[in-house]
Structures are given as C-alpha cells and as structure tokens.
C-alpha cells in the first residue's frame, strides 16, 4: 500500500534561538508559522517561505545551556545541508553579503547546478541553487513545473 505524503520541514537544533530566528526570518525572509511560547525566548518554532519550511529547536533547556556552543557538536552541523531552489543567485549573493553573511560567489557544480553556499549562525550548510544546463533544466520543468 502506498501512503501519500508531501513536503518536508527539517528540524534544526540551534544554540541561540533569537539569533537563529533573526537569520531565517530577517535575512532569508521566512515567516513565523508557530512557536512554542510567546515572546523572543522560546524553545521551538516553525518557519515557512514559498513552500519551504524549517523548524528550529533549542539544543539545550534554558537552565542547562552552556555559555558557549559546544564546538564538536556545532562542527557536526556541517554534515547537514539545506538546498533551496533560487533563480536569482547573483541577487541572493549580494543580499547575503549586505547582511554580513560570508559566501563565495555562485559557481556551477560538475553535475550542472549553479550553486551559492553559505552557513547559518549554527553552522548548518545552506545552498541556493538553480539548473545551469539543459539536462537539469528539463528535469526541473518536468518534476517541479518551474519555467527554467
């Protein structure tokens, strides 16, 4: 039996919730859908933008949060990547740089995607990408209905 499902909302563990929310909301343009409690200090939230969703959860209960992020735990975040479709990579690059986000200019990967990589405040890898060749453009037209 096939079960129908759709969408995905990754759950990311964050050290500093207000900083993470500022990044995803104020820099990347996500909107708050829900949060575990009112105010700036809460433990979980759900954000969305144009069909993309992400949930953030604090790594530590407030009373157990260390004064600094745990370096080995934060280093493991580099193993997680969020890939978003983004047509205007050059504009996105300029926007990120204007907000003080470290990023290299977009490049074409050997498999035909033009990509812009950067990290959020917790070290999670984010990639904005768009097809750079006709092979991927046709796949995206078919699969997602994008006019590439």
3-state secondary structure of 111: coil
Please report, in angstroms and rounded to a whole number, the separation of the first and last CA atoms in the chain. 35
Q: Are residues 62 and 85 in the same domain?
A: no
Q: Are residues 96 and 53 in the same domain?
A: no
Q: Of 42, 69, 96, which marks where a domain is finished?
A: 69
Q: Of 17, 47, 69, which marks where a domain is finished?
A: 69
Q: What are phi and psi of 44, to 5 degrees?
A: -150, 145
In our burial notation (b when 16+ CB lie closer than 10 A, e otherwise), range 82-91 reads eebebeebee
Q: Are residues 43 and 98 in the same domain?
A: no
* Burial of 124 from C-beta contacts in 10 A (0-12 / 13-18 / 19+): buried
Note the pLDDT of residue 27.
96
Can you state the percent helix, strand and coil of the chain, rounding each to 5?
30, 30, 40
Give every CB contact of residue 44 below 8 A, 6+ residues apart in sequence. 35, 36, 55, 56, 57, 58
Q: Are residues 79 and 117 in the same domain?
A: yes
Note the pLDDT of residue 70.
80
Note the pLDDT of residue 60.
85
Q: Are residues 91 and 144 in the same domain?
A: yes
How does pLDDT run along the chain (148 residues), one tens digit per residue? 688 777 889 999 999 999 999 999 999 999 999 999 999 889 999 999 998 999 999 998 877 888 888 888 887 887 889 999 998 999 999 999 999 999 999 999 988 899 999 999 999 999 999 998 777 777 777 777 766 5
- Kindly state the tokens that stand for 36: 């575990």
Note the pLDDT of residue 68.
84
CA distance 47 to 54: 5
- Kindly state the tokens that stand for 76: 């493991």
Instruction: Please check whether residue 85 is in contact with residue 144, taking contact to mean a CB–CB distance below 8 angstroms.
Output: yes
């Amino acid at each position: 039996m096939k079960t129908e499902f759709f969408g995905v909302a990754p759950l990311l563990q964050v050290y500093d919730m207000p900083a993470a929310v500022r990044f995803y909301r104020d820099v990347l343009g996500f909107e708050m859908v829900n949060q575990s409690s009112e105010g700036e200090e809460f433990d979980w939230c759900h954000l969305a933008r144009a069909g993309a969703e992400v949930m953030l959860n604090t790594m530590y209960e407030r009373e157990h949060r260390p004064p600094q992020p745990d370096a080995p735990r934060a280093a493991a975040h580099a193993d997680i990547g969020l890939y978003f479709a983004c047509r205007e990579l050059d504009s996105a690059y300029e926007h990120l740089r204007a907000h003080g986000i470290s990023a290299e200019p977009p490049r074409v990967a050997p498999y035909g995607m033009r990509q812009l990589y950067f990290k959020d405040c917790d070290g999670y890898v984010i990639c904005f990408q768009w097809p750079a060749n006709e092979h991927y453009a046709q796949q995206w037209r078919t699969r997602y209905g994008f006019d590439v």
